[in-house]
């Protein structure tokens, strides 16, 4: 078990090192990066927005309920929705969802290419397949996923508004006052750190799983599932570590 873990971890690092070498043809990598940005970014926008609306809405409702009979001013709802989504909910939940959507897709795509000998065919041509298959995805993700997370945070705050203002919990002015109170730019920095680290995990781990897949369709399915499970675990672990490192 332990040896197996070390073997995979070592091979993962070696693959990453190979993936980060000089492209043989810049224009081909550029084209592929643009395609990936479109796939990851545009392709995930709807689901990310949908989830974010609900995250914001639920957070607002729950806090409104808890604050009901307390002496905490009700405009705090806006403040709490803003901070909890920026610090934790937007980056973590968005990236857990993206690990499922983007991650499984990456694992299945590269795994399929391995099994259908596409990777071998490229190797024979002289292509550095680790670089060509991983680098564009990684660059695209590192660029696009923080933007998605940012969008998620904004939409969540909108979701909080939708669930607490029209329903009469608090007034429009109170919610906005809450959203504008006690703002800490440092939290936005934390959000971006998390988004970047999570984006790295949810592209490289599935890419590794797919790149070294063996066997047939059952193994491909397993690789895709494992890619998501491992990415999720690593994202949560990284979340915890970042929380500790950036708050003490």
Partner 1 sequence: MIRIESIRKSFDEVEVLKGVSASFEQGKTNLIIGKSGAGKTVMLKILVGLLRPTAGDIWYDQTNFGQLDKRQLRELRMDVGMLFQGSALFDSMTVEENVRFPLDMFTNKTAKEKLDRVNYCLERVNLEGVNRKYPSETSGGMQKRIGIARSIVLEPKYLFCDEPNSGLDPTTALLIDELIVDITRENNITTVINTHDMNSVMEIGDNIILLHLGELTWTGNKDEVLESDNQVLQDFIFASPFLQRLRRAALSSSGE
Residue numbers at the binding site for partner 1 (CB under 8 A): 18, 24-25, 27-28, 116-118, 120-121, 123-128
Q: In this complex, which beta carbon is closest to partner 1, that of residue 215 or of residue 233?
A: 215
Smallest distance, Å, CB 227 to partner 1? 20
Say how far apart CA 209 and CA 222 lie, in whole Å: 9
Which residue shows structure tokens 């949908």?
50
Smallest distance, Å, CB 126 to partner 1? 4
Q: In this complex, which beta carbon is closest to partner 1, that of residue 127 or of residue 242?
A: 127
Q: Quick one: which of 43, 16, 39 has its CA closest to 207? A: 16
Smallest distance, Å, CB 27 to partner 1? 8
Three-point CA angle 36, 41, 47, nearest 5°: 130
Q: In this complex, which beta carbon is closest to partner 1, that of residue 27 or of residue 70?
A: 27
Q: In this complex, which beta carbon is closest to partner 1, that of residue 77 or of residue 130?
A: 130
Q: Where are the beta strands (DSSP E) in the chain?
A: none
Q: Quick one: which of 229, 225, 223, 197 has its CA closest to 208? A: 223
Q: In this complex, which beta carbon is closest to partner 1, that of residue 32 or of residue 83?
A: 32
Smallest distance, Å, CB 211 to partner 1? 14
Smallest distance, Å, CB 40 to partner 1? 16
DSSP 105-167: HHHHHHHHHHHTTHHHHHHHHT--HHHHHHHHHHHHHHHHHHHHHHHHHHHHHHHHHHHHTTT
């Amino acid at each position: 078990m332990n040896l197996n873990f070390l073997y995979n971890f070592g091979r993962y690092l070696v693959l990453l090192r190979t993936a980060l070498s000089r492209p043989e043809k810049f224009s081909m990598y550029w084209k592929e990066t643009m395609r990936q940005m479109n796939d990851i970014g545009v392709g995930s926008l709807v689901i990310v927005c949908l989830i974010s609306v609900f995250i914001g809405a639920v957070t607002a409702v729950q806090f409104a309920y808890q604050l009901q009979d307390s002496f905490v001013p009700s405009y705090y709802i806006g403040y709490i929705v803003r901070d909890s989504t920026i610090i934790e909910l937007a980056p973590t939940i968005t990236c857990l969802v993206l690990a499922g959507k983007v991650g499984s897709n990456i694992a299945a795509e590269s795994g399929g290419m391995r099994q259908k000998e596409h990777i071998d065919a490229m190797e024979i041509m002289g292509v550095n397949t680790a670089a060509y298959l991983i680098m564009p995805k990684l660059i695209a993700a590192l660029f696009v996923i923080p933007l998605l997370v940012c969008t998620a945070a904004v939409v969540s705050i909108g979701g909080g508004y939708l669930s607490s203002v029209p329903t009469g919990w608090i007034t429009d002015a109170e919610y906005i006052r809450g959203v504008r109170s006690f703002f800490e730019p440092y939290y936005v920095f934390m959000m971006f750190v998390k988004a970047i680290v999570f984006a790295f995990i949810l592209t490289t781990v599935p890419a590794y799983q797919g790149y070294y897949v063996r066997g047939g369709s059952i193994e491909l399915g397993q690789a895709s599932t494992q890619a998501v499970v491992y990415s999720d675990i690593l994202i949560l672990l990284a979340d915890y570590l970042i929380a500790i490192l950036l708050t003490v």
